[in-house]
Amino acid sequence: MTRKLFRYRSFNTEIINVYSNVHQKLIGIEKWKFEAFEGIVYPSSPLYFNDPYDCDFCMQRDALEGILDRETLIQTLGKNFKLKKNEKNRILKTKNIENTIQKILQDHGASLNGSWMHVLQNGLNDCMSKIKNSVRVVCLSEVYDSILMWSHYAQNHTGFCIEYDFEENNMFYKRLHPVKYTKDRYAISKADMSNSNTHWIYKTICSKSDVWSYEKEWRIVTANFEEMGLKNLEGKYVFDLKTNIKAFYLGAKIAENFKKEIIEFGQKNNIHVYQMVLSPNTYDLEAEKII
């Protein structure tokens, strides 16, 4: 089986220094060429995605109550109150943790006021952020002709789109996950947390609000950089997708100099190039083959 997916890009002309096996020395190359011509992709940390809910962990109450150990609760409360030794011991030994916390807070002139879940959630924030930042994601789409995608991710149709083919025996194929679009957030349960596998992490990372469903997104998700990645000279992890590139699609408003460079590269490397054009009768984009 082959999975055909697309990645919308803008022309980032920032110069980066990389080692060239051909030239046997450091060479400066524009960042967009590093991705388009060399096939090197920088996976992203979910901490910097434009959707604030994207990859954000949502916990059911039983999961929140079960995941935090007593020491973590003490540390969380200790950020706001100076806990006495006997109060810490009460937290460690109590069978009714919520009632005990309520009484301790009252002794300090405070109360939960229905925000027990908020206390638990705050205790998890640092932990979840570390998990969130431990993974890396490459975002792809099933479609190359989305007007919104060209507008949002290809600099208002002045950029380009790369077509990748992922064969079933390719190392990235098994790490491809479709994004599931729903009205409700995926909430991690206590059963999820007690399970030895990490499917709940992938379910969170590949779940988004249905307002984004037009993106028809797939993601390469990994935390295993030793197996999948390599480091460039700046110490950042990158993926080599050069052999997966099958075609380029040029934005409807692409500049002539960028268009010429991609066409020349396509001709030399036997890669198809298409020009996106506006339909004369509808609001669709059409791909016209150049080579």
pLDDT one-digit tens code per residue, 61-78:
666 655 556 777 777 777
Mean pLDDT for 115-144 is 74
pLDDT digits (tens, 9 = 90+) for 131-167: 777 888 999 999 999 999 999 999 999 999 999 999 9
DSSP-based three-state secondary structure for 2: strand
Report the candidate in 215, 213, 221, 241 with the shortest Cα–Cα distance to residue 34.
241
Query: What is the per-residue pLDDT for 48?
Result: 86
Q: In this predicted structure, what is the pLDDT of residue 21?
A: 63
Q: What are phi and psi of 187, to 5 degrees?
A: -105, 125
CB contact set of 81 (below 8 Å; sequence gap of 6+): 104, 105, 108, 110
Contacts of 135 (CB under 8 A, 6+ apart): 45, 46, 55, 201, 205, 221, 222, 223
Cα gap 288→291, rounded to integer Å: 9
The 10 Å Cβ neighbour count of residue 198 is: 12
* pLDDT tens track for 3-59: 999 999 999 999 988 776 655 677 788 999 999 999 999 899 888 898 989 988 777
Q: What is the pTM of this model?
A: 0.78
The band of 191, judged by pLDDT with boundaries at 50, 70 and 90, is: confident
222: left (phi over 0), alpha (psi -120 to 50) or beta: beta
- Which of 162 and 225 is assigned the larger pLDDT? 162
Average pLDDT over residues 220-238: 68
Tell whether the model's pLDDT for residue 118 goes beyond 60.
Answer: yes
For 188-199, give the DSSP string. E-HHHHHSSS-H
CA angle 22, 27, 32 (to 5 degrees): 100
Q: How far apart are CA 114 and CA 123, in angstroms?
A: 16
Q: Which two tokens stand for residue 266?
A: 């396509």
Binned at pLDDT 50, 70 and 90, residue 280 comes out as very high
Q: How far apart are CA 32 and CA 44, in angstroms?
A: 15
pLDDT reading at 114 higher than 60: no
Residue 77's Cβ-count burial label (10 Å; 0-12, 13-18, 19+) is buried
What pLDDT score does 121 carry?
A: 60
Specify the range with the lowest mean pLDDT, choosing from 78-92, 106-120, 214-228, 263-277.
106-120
84 membership: H or E segment, kind and range: none
Contact between 193 and 33 (Cβ < 8 Å) = no
* Alpha-carbon span 106 to 123, nearest angstrom: 19
State the Cα–Cα distance between residues 209 and 54, nearest whole angstrom.
Answer: 8
Tell me: pLDDT of 239 over 60. yes
Measured distance CA(138)–CA(200) in Å, rounded:
19
